[in-house]
Amino acid sequence: MIRAALMLASSLVTSLVSTQITAETIDVEYSRFYSHVKKLDNEDTQALQFAFGFVRVGEGRLCGVNAASIVTDKKTMTLEVNKEGRFTVPTERALKLANALVRIDLAEQANVCDMSVQLETKPEYLKPFYKKEELTFLYEQYEAFFNEMGSFLSFMMPSVKGLMIQFEDKNLDFITPQGLQINNGILHIEQDWIRDAKGLTLPHAPLRITAMASS
């Protein structure tokens, strides 16, 4: 009985130590995030956002994020973290001037997680049906962003060739009424199809919409 109790206590201690080692809270200067989000602060890219997360080195998967917040000397603002472990930050120059920090509670050690930045459509533009004008609007938003960035680094920036619609169910296979095939939760729409489209009906609102780019 005593031996069993000691083994249980040892197991609990090991578990606690392991938790302390694998979880880590880090502070990142808000200015690093602001340098990204300020690029979308105009009408031409109003439907887009940058979603931040951390990718596990050598594995490609997203590291878990338990919580995230913006911290200044006067207040703390909680950021919403989605199920994937990504979050967005507001575009506020005042936070940059206040030397704000973004505090991230990682579920893993920071030295095995690299920051990941994803350009995507804002949640309010995700729905199960799109008119031609709405698809064109989203396509032109990405086109405007890449064109603006390309004006500085034209030899490095890709061009937009369509939209990629992703669903939460990675096993989703579905043919839309318009004859487009969703494979493994992903639908690719080429620019030419968008130009000639009369609308798009999806089985339900997607998880996100990103750009299909070509070099």
Please say whether the beta carbons of 215 and 158 come within 8 A.
yes
Residues 116 and 144 in one domain: no
Q: What is the pLDDT of residue 181?
A: 97
Mind listing the pLDDT tens digit for each residue in 52-62?
A: 999 999 898 99
Provide the token pair at 210: 């990103």
What are the E-state strand segments in 107-178? 113-121, 129-130, 159-166, 174-175
Residues 78 and 147 in one domain: no
Residue 194: which of 211, 175, 215, 173 has the closest Cα?
A: 211
Outline where the chain has alpha helix (H).
2-22, 30-37, 93-97, 132-150, 191-196
Q: What is the pLDDT of residue 3?
A: 44
Residues 143 and 202 in one domain: yes
Please say whether the beta carbons of 92 and 41 come within 8 A.
no
Q: Considering the entire predicted model, what is its pTM? A: 0.82
Residues 89 and 112 in one domain: yes
Q: What is the pLDDT of residue 149?
A: 77
Last residue of a domain, one of 80, 95, 121: 121
Per residue of the chain (215 residues), what is the pLDDT tens digit? 444 433 333 443 333 333 344 689 999 999 999 999 999 988 999 999 999 999 999 898 999 999 999 999 999 999 999 999 999 999 999 999 999 999 999 999 999 999 999 999 999 999 999 999 999 999 999 999 988 876 555 556 678 999 999 999 999 999 999 999 999 999 999 999 999 999 999 999 999 999 998 76
Mind listing the pLDDT tens digit for each residue in 156-193?
A: 667 899 999 999 999 999 999 999 999 999 999 999 99
Total tally of structural domains belonging to the chain: 2
Q: Domain of residue 117: give its range.
A: 23-121
